[in-house]
Amino acid sequence: MRVITFRDALREAIREEMRRDERVYILGEDIAGYGGTYSVTKGLFEEFGEKRVRDTPLAEEVIAGTAIGSALVGLRPICEIMTMNFSLLASDQIINSAAKFQYMFAGQTRIPVVFRMPGGGGAQRGAQHSQFFETLFGHIPGLKVVMPATPYDAKGMLKSAIRDDDPVVFVEHELLYSVKGEVPDEGEEYTVPLNRGEIKREGRDVTIITFSRMVHISLQAAEELAKEGIEAEVLDLRSIRPIDLDLIIESVKKTNRVVIAEEGWKYYGTGQGIAALVYEHAFDYLDAPIGHVTGKDVPMPYSKPLEQAALPTRADVIAVVKAITPAPAGAR
C-alpha cells in the first residue's frame, strides 16, 4: 500500500464517491475555488463543477438545513462545517431535524447526510475554536458519530458514511490532516464499518480505550510502557455512536484493567460514559478502578505554553496506567 496524508485520504473518499454516485455532492464555506480551509476539497470543483461542489454563505444553520432538505428529496450531501465549534450554530438542524425525522415520520424518509467537522485543540486557536463536541452529538439518538485516527480509517469510514442512509457526524481532528499512513491504491475499493472499533496494539496488562488524535499519543505511551515491561493494549473506538461494546468487553476480559484517554473535558464527557458502560457490563473482570486521562477542565488557552499544559500528553497516559497496573516482576 502507498503512504498518503489524512487529508488526501479524505479527498480521495469524496472524489471516489462522487464519481460512483451522481447524487453525492458537497457544500460548505470556501470549499470550491479555495479548496477548503484544510485543503480537503482541493481540485474537486475543477472536476465536478459548481453544481456538485457548492460554496455557501457563512451560515451554518443554512448549510445544514440545505443539506437535510436535499437529502429528503433524494440527494446524498456532504455538509462541511468549517470547524466543529461552529456546529453549535447548526445544532438545531442537526439535533432536531436530521436526527429525528425518520422517527417522527415512521421511517418513511431517510436522511443520508454527512456532517464533516474539523475540531480539537493544539493549533493555538483559542477557547472558541479548539473544542470537541462529540459528547453532545453522541448523546442524541438518530445520529451516528465517528472519529477516525488514521488515513486508512478516514478514507474507509468516510466512504461508508456517504453511503449510509442515516445522518453521520464525521469528526476530523485538525492536527491529523498532515499525519501519514498506509492506504490502498486509489480506486481500490474498500470501506471501514461505522460500528466497529479496532485494536491498534495488542497487550496483556491494561486496555487503553481512546479515539481520534489520542490514539497516536496512546500508542506512543504504550511503546514507552513496553520498555518497562508493561504491555498496554490500545483500543481505537473509531465510532462514538454506535460504540463497539463487544470489543471493549473482550479486551477487558483479557487485560483486567482499563484506562480511558481522551482530549476533551472530564465531567459528563465521552470517557465517563464509556467508563459507566464498562462498569455495567464488565465489572467482574476488573482488577482495578478505571483510570481516566483528559484535557484540563478549562476553556482552551490561546497562549501556546498554556495550551500545551491544558492538553493530555503521553506522560499523562503513562502515569495513569502505572497508577493502576502493578510493576512487572523484577522492575524497580
Quick one: 217 exposed, middle or buried, by C-beta within 10 A (0-12, 13-18, 19+)? buried
Look-up: residue for cell 487503553? 208
Task: Tell me which residues are annotated as active site.
Answer: 60, 129
What's the grid cell of residue 46? 475543477
Start-end of CATH 3.40.50.970 domains in the chain: 2-183
Start-end of CATH 3.40.50.920 domains in the chain: 198-324
Report whether CATH 3.40.50.970 matches the domain 2-183: yes
Its pTM stands at: 0.96
47 vs 68: CA distance, rounded Å: 24
Report whether CATH 3.40.50.920 matches the domain 198-324: yes
Q: Tens of pLDDT along the chain (332 residues)?
A: 899 999 999 999 999 999 999 999 999 999 998 999 899 999 999 999 999 999 999 999 999 999 999 999 999 999 999 999 999 999 999 999 999 999 999 989 999 999 999 999 999 999 999 999 999 999 999 999 999 999 999 999 999 999 999 999 999 999 999 999 999 998 799 999 999 999 999 999 999 999 999 999 999 999 999 999 999 999 999 999 999 999 999 999 999 999 999 999 999 999 999 999 999 999 999 999 999 999 999 999 999 999 999 999 999 999 999 999 998 876 54
What distances in angstroms separate CA 186 from CA 17, 155, 220, one per listed residue?
Answer: 12, 10, 29
Closest CA to 113 of 205, 28, 206, 232: 28
What distances in angstroms separate CA 205 from CA 255, 257, 288, 291, one per listed residue?
Answer: 5, 7, 11, 13
What's the grid cell of residue 210? 481512546
Identify the DSSP state of 32: S
